[in-house]
Amino acid sequence: MRFGVFGKVMLSVSLLCGQSAFAATAGGATLGNENFYCAAASRSKSKTGVPAAPIEPASTSANRATAPCDWTPMLMAPISTPRLFRGSDGLYNLVYEMQFTNYCAKPSKIVSFEVHNAKGGLVKAYTPQGLHSRLLNLSLTKPSKGKAGDGDVIPPGGTAVVFMNLEFKDKESAPQHLVHKLVIETEFADKVRRFENSNCKLAVEDKPPVVVGPPLKGGRWFASGGYAGESGHRRALFPLSNRLVNAQRYAIDWLLMTEDNHAFSGDGKQCSQFAGYGKPLIAAADGTVVGVIDRFEDQIPNEPKGDQLPFYPGGNSCVIDIGNGHYAFYAHMKPGSIKVKEGQKVKRGDVIGLLGSSGNSSAPHLHFHVMDGPSILGSRGVPYVFDSFTVSGFCDEDKAEKAIESGGVAPIAKSKFDGKHTDELPREGMLIVFPE
């Protein structure tokens, strides 16, 4: 769930609280086994841009025995591999993370970061300023606020993570391989020099997204904390089982809105005042139930507490094996409402329980995502799409936060994306109506 979304009223919604505390240890975790490989090359430059050493020829006939040392003080590696999917804004997306590690005795400053296709065509270029909203510098005690120089300097031994979201107008525009180029500046061999680390090549997974049905019926469901955001689920990269993993990479928090665009009635201090509380949750696909937790009470709105927050953040929850190595996860279910048990077969559309607010939740909502294993946080989040839904408006999430937490009207308005959609993943901020 999106961490801090809707402030006091809505979800603490990043499924696991205290993300910053965990992030402080993430630099020591090893990478998971992913489908990638890297081949690094570098050049050294002075402040004037004049090469301080010859560039190693790209030709395979180059004599590596006599070439200058190929220094790459800032190491670069993917944490995950992307799989192409289409969002409800019509754009195709590649979502993944890159890890930078400064293996230098001096601080290193990021000068530029670029992504190219296999033929050398530029896919995306970041200046240090443009990178800040996507960069998690683990050496900072407070998150970067996007100011030049407050996040792009990595200390000796420091680690940073870049949360990559690449968008393409059509499927054909998306590369099958992504080549990354990082330019840094650091003091090296008694001089300030620039190093270019390039040819870190990442193969895009040659698999389609997982197609599922809706986890909810009808309604006017506000999609929060999705794949295109810069916080919350998108940033929920945690050290688990000695690797960095994000099960929530494509997760969405679903909050039911009334016809007049309120999330709750009254003062919002009771779960029963929320429009979505107690609504049925349905199986998104045929499958087998592999995990059920049903022992937690609902949290008091805006007052989540207890050991369930870090250890059972989903609260009352259900995991369904939907086949082909994929698992659907439902979190924050109403206590005593789960209608299935482990080992039970379910059909798409079966009611599995009711929407609640247990676990790491500060208001009733459904957290839903698809992953490549049964562990709710220790698995890798994989892209999925709903085979049918209708977009019925859009609202900027920050504006929605302020309105909802005050009990006001969320400024949801008609959008150019309104209408029926198929085989897409809703982008955050959209109001979604599922089939009844």
pLDDT tens across 163-215, in order? 999 999 999 999 999 999 999 999 998 899 999 999 799 999 999 999 999 99
- Structural domain contains residue 117: yes
Q: What residue numbers bound the domain in which 98 lies?
A: 36-203
- Structural domain contains residue 4: no
pLDDT level of residue 9 (50, 70, 90 thresholds): very low
Cα separation, 241 vs 289, in Å, equals: 23
Residue 394 pLDDT > 50: yes
Least confident of 109-113, 213-217, 394-398: 394-398
Residue 236 pLDDT > 90: yes
Looking at the fold, whether 192 and 103 belong to one and the same domain comes out as yes
Residue of higher predicted confidence among 240 and 12: 240
186, 203, 220 — which closes off a domain? 203
203, 222, 257 — which closes off a domain? 203
Looking at the fold, whether 345 and 369 belong to one and the same domain comes out as yes
Residue of higher predicted confidence among 4 and 131: 131
Looking at the fold, whether 277 and 156 belong to one and the same domain comes out as no
Looking at the fold, whether 320 and 235 belong to one and the same domain comes out as yes
Looking at the fold, whether 325 and 243 belong to one and the same domain comes out as yes
Mean pLDDT score, 379-396: 96
pLDDT tens across 267-283, in order? 999 999 999 999 999 99
CATH number of the domain enclosing 280: 2.70.70.10
pLDDT of residue 398: 82
pLDDT of residue 15: 52
Looking at the fold, whether 155 and 253 belong to one and the same domain comes out as no
Name the domain count of the chain: 2
**CB 409: neighbour CB atoms within 10 A?**
14
Least confident of 19-23, 42-46, 150-154: 19-23
Read off the tokens for 114.
Answer: 């670029």
**φ and ψ of 212, to 5 deg:** -135, 165
pLDDT tens across 110-123, in order? 999 999 999 999 99
Mean pLDDT score, 284-313: 95
Residue 31 pLDDT > 50: no
- Structural domain contains residue 29: no
Read off the tokens for 335.
Answer: 């206590």
pLDDT tens across 59-89, in order? 444 678 888 888 999 999 999 999 999 999 9
- Structural domain contains residue 13: no
Looking at the fold, whether 64 and 150 belong to one and the same domain comes out as yes
pLDDT tens across 339-382, in order? 999 999 999 999 999 999 999 999 999 999 999 999 999 999 99
Mean pLDDT score, 245-250: 96
Looking at the fold, whether 320 and 222 belong to one and the same domain comes out as yes
pLDDT of residue 406: 80
